[in-house]
Structure 1
Amino acid sequence: MVTHVELQEDLQDALLPFGFEVYPFQVGRYNAVLQPAFHLNYPEDTLAFVVLSIPSMFERAFKPFLGQHKLQKLRDPIDECVSYHMMLAKERFPSHKVDVIYDYELHPNRRPKILMQTAAHVSGAAYYYQRKDVLQDPWGEKKLFGVCIHARFGGWFAIRAVLVFAELRAPGLEQILPIDCVPSREARIQLLEDFNFRWRDGKYRDVLPAEERYSAEQTLYFATPPADRMKLLELWGQLQ
């Protein structure tokens, strides 16, 4: 019987060289902190993995992908690249039913299929800072969105997918808590305000000294509106 440790090692072998990190969690721990409408419909001890892209993904996975594949005009190039690598990882486990849920997927009623930041938090991948994490917050009636911060990369990463091993149970999986890397009230206020009110300048990503940041090229790519990214890739000569 394969263990969650062996599965994690196999997934890391498949994905880490391309700039992706994987973190295991039990579906029940995700469901426990959400309203029923957002629950994943699997037994509580079902094994799942959060997949993050870290700064090196752009050079290790995305650029090679552009040089080797013809893009589909109606899909986002990054989404295509992520999907390609998730399918390659999935092929490593032909005897298992692996359901892949992507960050952009929605139900017909437009509700997200999964709340990625919650999944990242319960897996220990990144700490999900929310308004409730600020004592006596100063925002009154304003609505604020939360943001995940990675202990090594700050805000310079993205949560791309969750892989659910639908028929595998991990009742003994230890829960790894995310590292609270923005512990002070003042820093949390600054982080949430930077993310909610000034997110375009990307300052929130530098809430802590990052081990690695996006390159200037990668920063420009993600700052470009999605509709204009194909033109940017053509300008760079990156398309097949």
Structure 2
Amino acid sequence: MGADHVEIQEKLRGELQPYGFQVFPFQVGWYNEVLDPVFHLSYPADTLAFVVLSIPSMFEKAFKPFMRGQKLQSLRDPIDQCVAHHMAMARRLFPLHQIDVIYDYELHPNRRPKALMQTAAHVSGAAYYYQRKDVPQDPWGERKMYGVCIHPQFGGWFAIRAVVVFSEVQSPGLEQIHPMDCLPSQEDRICLLENFNFNWRDGKYRDVLLAEEKYSEDQTLYFATPPAERMKLLEFWGFLPPSPPC
């Protein structure tokens, strides 16, 4: 990995890690080669990209301070606004680079995701993307089963927030680091996928392995609260002024 690429990675991590984000580099070609062409990112194969994760500490280190100091833009998710704020701060470190940021919630007009975040996390080595194909003799018949990423430090207690592409930076010497397979047992993989697909609301899948850190009580409550009711919770915590009476 050339010095320029090392410098980019160090700058990104220096800006984002103190706020509870992790950054992992990958080449666009690694991502494209494991996906059907319809999902490809339209950059040369050796283009430098990064996947950005939020870990449990993000809620206290980034989200709560953001809520104390920022005015929310109406009709946008507060967590998404917080992530976008920190990505904007990071982009300012690279005024000479063309940077494309693709957020986890962004869709094409046909509702296809602009980037498959779990695939990006896997090819970057950030987290292992467990899928049905990882269970050779599965018990699910015709049933559709969705895959899920597991982090070697935090289990399921994290989120994949964005893919950042330095569209004019090539990184032919970047060495691919494969994700840690935390669940070599077929039984554990079956348990994970069943918990995620059948009972994801209870969050049990997140505890498939012992995590170094989990979501705080406030963070767990926030994400367990239906999106339409989260503004009321933020009002209760004092981050927003009370809604006017009807």
Match of 1:94 in 2: 95
- Aligned residue number for residue 181 of structure 1: 182
Aligned partner of 1:198 in structure 2 is: 199
Task: Note the C-alpha offset of 1:44.
Answer: 0.4
- Distance in 2 between residues matched to 1:161 and 1:92, nearest whole Å: 17
**Distance across 2 between alignment mates of 1:203 and 1:26:** 33
Aligned: 1:4 with 2:1: no
Q: What does residue 126 of structure 2 align with?
A: 125
1:26, distance to aligned residue in structure 2 (A): 0.1
Shift of 1:6: 1.4
Deviations 1:97-155 (A, max 9, x none): 01000000000111000000000000000000000000200000000000000000000
Q: Is 1:134 aligned with 2:139?
A: no
User: Which residue of structure 1 lines up, in the alignment, with residue 239 of structure 2?
Assistant: 238
Q: Which secondary structure state, in structure 1, belongs to the residue aligned with residue 23 of structure 2?
A: strand
Q: CA deviation at 1:43?
A: 0.4
CA distance in 2, matches of 1:6, 1:38: 29
* AA of the residue aligned to 1:145: Y
Counterparts of residues 206-217 of structure 1 (less than 5 Å): 206-217=207-218
Paired amino acid for 1:59: E
For residues 35 and 221 of structure 2, the distance between their equivalents in structure 1, rounded to whole angstroms, comes to: 35
Partner of 1:225: 226
Instruction: Give percent identity, aligned residues only.
Output: 74
Deviation at 1:5, TM superposition (A): 1.5
Q: 1:63 aligns to what?
A: 64
| Map of 1:23 onto structure 2 | 24
Q: Which residue of 2 aligns with 1:153?
A: 154
Deviation, structure 1 residue 182:
1.0
Q: Which residue does the alignment assign to 2:54?
A: 53
The 3-state SS of whatever aligns with 2:163 is: strand
Deviation string, structure 1 residues 192-236 (Cα, Å, up to 9, x no partner): 000000000000000000000001110010111111111110011
Tell me the C-alpha RMSD between the 2 structures: 0.9
Measure how far apart 1:183 and its partner are. Answer: 1.0
Query: Within the alignment, does 1:79 sit opposite 2:80 as a pair?
Result: yes
Letter paired with 2:77? D
Query: Which amino acid is the alignment partner of residue 190 of structure 1?
Result: C
In structure 2, what is the Cα distance between the partners aligned to 1:79 and 1:197? Answer: 26
Q: CA deviation at 1:2?
A: 4.9
1:169 aligns with 2:144: no
State the alpha-carbon separation in 2 of the partners of residues 12 and 172 from structure 1: 20
1:37 match: 38
Gaps of 5+ in 2: 242-246
SS in 2 for 1:174: coil
User: What's the TM-score once normalised by structure 2's chain length?
Assistant: 0.96
> Separation in 2 of the partners of 1:49 and 1:73?
29
Amino acid at match of 2:175: E
Other structure's SS at 1:142 match: coil
Q: Report the counterpart of residue 244 of structure 2 in structure 1.
A: none
CA distance in 1, matches of 2:78, 2:3: 34
Distance 2:66 2:3 in 1: 31
Gaps of 5+ in 1: none
Q: Distance in 2 between matches of 1:235 and 1:71?
A: 16
